[in-house]
Amino acid sequence: MVKTLAVVGATGAVGQIVLDELVQQGLQYETLKLLASARSVGKTVNVGGQELTVELMEPDAFEGVDLVIASTPDEVAAEFVPWAVERGAIVVDESAYYRMDPKVPLVIPEVNAEAVKNHVGIIASPNCSTTQMVVALKPLYDAAGLKRVVVSTYQAVSGAGLAAQTELIENTRARIAGNPLSPSMFQYDIALNLIPQIGSMKQAGFTSEEMKMVHETHKILGDDSIAINATCVRVPVLVGHSESIYCETAEPLELERIHELFHRAPGITLIDDLASKKYPMPRDCEGRPDVFVGRVRKDINQPCGISFWCVSDNLRKGAATNAVQIGKLLAGQLANV
């Protein structure tokens, strides 16, 4: 059990789901503090039937806190995480700020839970698109190794925040009515559209989102030898990222064995019956904590090639669920201190 747990960004979209996940996953604590910026101070939030008042996120707010779960922008994490660590707390950070710091473990509990033991006060939770892909690749990697991954993502607007969801709804209604609105959250109108750019331009024409998937996957698996090529696309879906994944294993796997690996893997739900038109779709996966896999097939030209479809709620497993799972791992450590 954690003596004092603090949730930073408690009134945000992901922060609210973190609070729900605390209840759903049963993370045990004696005291829960909700911290946020000045504009949210004084608000009351119900957590598991208990009404709690939001407090100001400031250095002194972390006095006596053992564990922090935080959902904030990068620049906010850069400011407050040192406050918490200096006062003896362990921080589970969902921002991108510390992910590639060599001293900070980047953790998906189904994949590299043992990495939490190596923290120096901070543990990072990966990018949402990376998380679901690596959960799905892990059983294949363990069984036969991985040489190459080609992934195309179809990412929901909720990855850009609540305002992006509102923009999709309003702009879709306006476009159908023949009165298109100008975009504000995205570089182009996302209504009834696809935008093949998420993040800023990086090396060789790839975007920052695409390179996150490369670098984070290498770090989580501890294997830089895997060739990874990503294309990230924003789609007019409210919640739930989808990915078309092609990978080549080091050794061939039979289709029956691949199905068995997915079926047995923790955190994966296999829905794969093309004849009956059963496969994962983002609308069906919303609000659920698992990574869903379907459309599994062997490459007809490459004996080690495997293609599959992967869907997950980006606000759950891609963010809040994963962070609370890490928190539970740490709670076990804290109980043994």
**Of the listed 119, 128, 247, 310, which one is catalytic?**
128
* 241 is a catalytic site residue: yes
What digits encode the pLDDT tens for the residues 22-81?
999 999 999 999 999 999 999 999 999 999 999 999 999 999 999 999 999 999 999 999
What digits encode the pLDDT tens for the residues 162-217?
999 999 999 999 999 999 999 999 999 999 999 999 999 999 999 999 999 999 99
Phi and psi angles of residue 62, each rounded to the nearest 5 degrees, phi first: -95, 0
CATH 3.40.109.10 fits 2-126+319-335, yes or no: no
Band (pLDDT 50/70/90 cuts) for residue 337 is low
Note the pLDDT of residue 118.
93
Band (pLDDT 50/70/90 cuts) for residue 333 is confident
**Of the listed 241, 247, 304, 310, which one is catalytic?**
241
Overall residue count recorded for the chain in this entry: 337
In the block, tokens 């918490």 appear at: 84
Tell me the CATH architecture of domain 130-314.
2-Layer Sandwich (3.30)
What digits encode the pLDDT tens for the residues 135-147?
999 999 999 999 9
Band (pLDDT 50/70/90 cuts) for residue 1 is confident
* 259 is a catalytic site residue: no
Mean residue pLDDT across the chain:
96
Domain with CATH 3.40.50.720 in the chain: 2-126+319-335
Domain with CATH 3.30.360.10 in the chain: 130-314
Residue 132 has pLDDT above 80, yes or no: yes
